[in-house]
Structure 1
């Protein structure tokens, strides 16, 4: 009898917990490595764009462009710097749209497909492959520096990550992979490890980025990033096991002999096992049949809709298409039809408004809608500012990559500290309501934006990250509020939809911020910060409305049942899983 591993949340020694962490490392090295590479690549690509605009598109001399890139004697070449930044900002308008449109589209189908087929690993490795292709393209564009213009670099930077899912699909696959392979007791600890990997790696990447780009140049930086991506791809392929664990969850297929159990493949497909099996190669191979039921066929004749598979004894069904092939459909065609099944999208969004333990009331539905809108109006400005703040600091304060690297490191550490402080002090000790935490977060963001907008010196600009100390906690508050209104069975789907709105926000705001920055360089370069304040302000009123309705709901529950069971932010299974998901996405 195999002894089950102890849960890490019990009173074990530090040595035992450390052993557990080492023995259960899977995706954490990928998350940490990709977070560092993302910071290195980000500054290198921004510098490459600016230098391409100066040398290739505008045909300025190498001496002028070199001084601009180093932040020296900028006053003499202010017009040249402005023209280059306008070109880069204009390119980023369509670049960011491409970069986020395709991953959002994939995310609609990927979550349901990966759940139905227990298929997480390909969606983690595919974005890494896209990044490798992107780095190869950037190296080629660096080698043919004069021949490849700015717009081609922008296309290379966007198209390969976009068609393979980018970080949006990667993180969705990572969190669903961890959730599907761990028990409820272990899940908090495991997701916490993933979050910690991203939280620690991001400031490390920020601190190293400026120095590495300055000392190693484009060839060295892109080569280092490309090699790291390749090692991550090899590590993921060989070390991440797609097979389900021995301890399957309650919703897993029961493949014991003699049982017939439908799985939720989709609305009209069931998986049926031939319990008798057959002997082959010295072992028993069980036949599984994927039966497609035609809901419009009153006769119930589904003879021609059976797809035979073989249970290989490892928890995965390896398909061997029968009737589909007889109809002239290739395996790839069947895959496309299964992956891009629009019924799965309907199911995901329908889960947002399913009945919960509080009932499917109008106020509940309004709250869900308001939270989805809040995701866009809060995360959108954060993402938009991050997309062009490097350009702004170079233009406003004559910073170079090292100056910005220092600022980015300070900004990341303050956000990490503020998030930890909010969870420990506000929610655990002071028991502050989730909605009030959201209001504090939005106010923190607005105050920091005003400081950024009117900062006339770098010293004042460095005050901004400290004013934004609590801005990252809004993501925790929003997830907590939604979890209160969602049953445990539907929480995964609802959080997937929540993350989809997080992915949509950059697609809208990043091009908008780039357009505003491009058109206000002569007037007020920091105008995009004020735009963010205006667009974020409605979130305060949304949180306050939900606070009022939540008070009414709790009062009604106390009257009806005599007690009220807290959920959301007070649920230990929920807190750790949301600590850094929104923060990690924001840093991207």
Structure 2
């Protein structure tokens, strides 16, 4: 009698378990790929359209050529910085409300994929709006480009909503024993994608211009959308709560502001010992950290242009080095936590 040999089961790898990582990678790469393109569009709009400086002067400012003037650079940047103030408010205040609505609706219906793909639609609309501002360059002022950049990202949640829903999906899709590994892999995908997009941002703009940069970013977003729609499935089963609902009913449930107030009450409700105080302190620390990081990211490119006379290529090299150091630091921190525990 011949014994049946059962083949050894191959151990599951990161690639076998991959679900939402390509969506996140496409979005993060596309988002960071055009950061310097957006900044240069604002600078050129401010110079040529708002301030109506000579074309040669504006070209010299952008390329840091021999004819560039420090006084003109400061005047242009002052105008751009003024616009960035209300842009920052719009891109951070509106997503807070969006996330409260989306988070509550997603938790009640257990639908993560539509919420995860929403920022990709916003990014696609943003790119289309920016391309219109490039096409009608002399007709549309800098503020039009600012609105086209900020509003689509703000009303669709942007990077913050994508990150939140990605973590929620990962929590639903993984077992406790491999959740740390999967979330670590997701963080690595985010970091590598941002580093890749940042390192290429200056080169892409320098070589391809506005149309090429926004076009390449849009292609990445479309790839992420197609993958998400075709290959990413909901984890939670369909229940009585979320099946066979009309669009009107779904819309009414989504804009249920009572759930927003309930979320806020849950966050700040009384808890045993000092748990509520700890939550409040953590929120304050998070706000301070996010505020300083956002402020730095907003003006760092403008600062290096004035202080070091850098072009977008030099700044992208610096940003790549900075992100690489941060990734190494996060890796060492993870090792320390593992061995410390």
Do they superpose with TM above 0.5?
Answer: yes
Q: Distance in 2 between matches of 1:409 and 1:219?
A: 23
- 2:8 is aligned with 1:16: no
Equivalent in the alignment of 2:3: none
Q: Distance in 2 between matches of 1:393 and 1:89?
A: 14
Equivalent in the alignment of 1:47: 40
Point out the structure with max Rg over C-alpha. Answer: 1
- 2:317 is aligned with 1:317: no
Equivalent in the alignment of 1:337: 252
RMSD, aligned α-carbons: 2.2
3-state DSSP of counterpart to 1:105: helix
Matches within 5 A, 1:443-454: none
Equivalent in the alignment of 2:5: none
Greater RCO, 1 or 2 (C-alpha within 8 Å, sep 6+) = 2
Deviation at 1:364, TM superposition (A): 2.8
117-126 vs 184-193, which moves further? 184-193
Matches within 5 A, 1:277-292: 288=240
Deviation at 1:162, TM superposition (A): 1.4
Q: Distance in 1 between matches of 2:123 and 2:295?
A: 22
Of 122, 137, 152 in structure 1, the residue corresponding to residue 129 of structure 2 is: 137
Equivalent in the alignment of 2:88: 96
Listed as ranges, the gaps of 5+ residues in structure 1 are 1-11, 246-251, 254-287, 291-315, 321-330, 432-569, 571-588
Q: Distance in 1 between matches of 2:191 and 2:11?
A: 23
Aligned pairs, number: 334
Of 10, 15, 22 in structure 2, the residue corresponding to residue 29 of structure 1 is: 22
Equivalent in the alignment of 1:224: 216
- 2:138 is aligned with 1:109: no
Of 63, 66, 73 in structure 1, the residue corresponding to residue 66 of structure 2 is: 73
3-state DSSP of counterpart to 1:16: coil
1:324-346 deviation line (CA, Å, top 9, x unaligned)? xxxxxxx52x3343223344334
3-state DSSP of counterpart to 2:139: coil
Deviation at 1:152, TM superposition (A): 0.3
- 2:311 is aligned with 1:400: yes
Equivalent in the alignment of 1:384: 295
Assess if the C-alpha contact under 8 Å between 1:128 and 1:229 holds in 2.
yes
Q: Distance in 2 between matches of 1:341 and 1:335?
A: 10
- 2:327 is aligned with 1:416: yes
Q: Distance in 2 between matches of 1:166 and 1:364?
A: 30
Assess if the C-alpha contact under 8 Å between 1:55 and 1:65 holds in 2.
yes
1:61-100 deviation line (CA, Å, top 9, x unaligned)? 22111111112236x5111111110110011111121222
Q: Distance in 2 between matches of 1:341 and 1:39?
A: 33
Q: Distance in 2 between matches of 1:428 and 1:170?
A: 27
Deviation at 1:41, TM superposition (A): 1.2
1:398-446 deviation line (CA, Å, top 9, x unaligned)? 1010110011001101111112223323x344x4xxxxxxxxxxxxxxx
Q: Which of the pair is proportionally richer in helix?
A: 2
Q: Which of the pair is proportionally richer in strand?
A: 1
Q: Distance in 2 between matches of 1:378 and 1:120?
A: 27
Assess if the C-alpha contact under 8 Å between 1:210 and 1:404 holds in 2.
yes
Q: Distance in 1 between matches of 2:50 and 2:257?
A: 44
Assess if the C-alpha contact under 8 Å between 2:172 and 2:235 holds in 1.
no
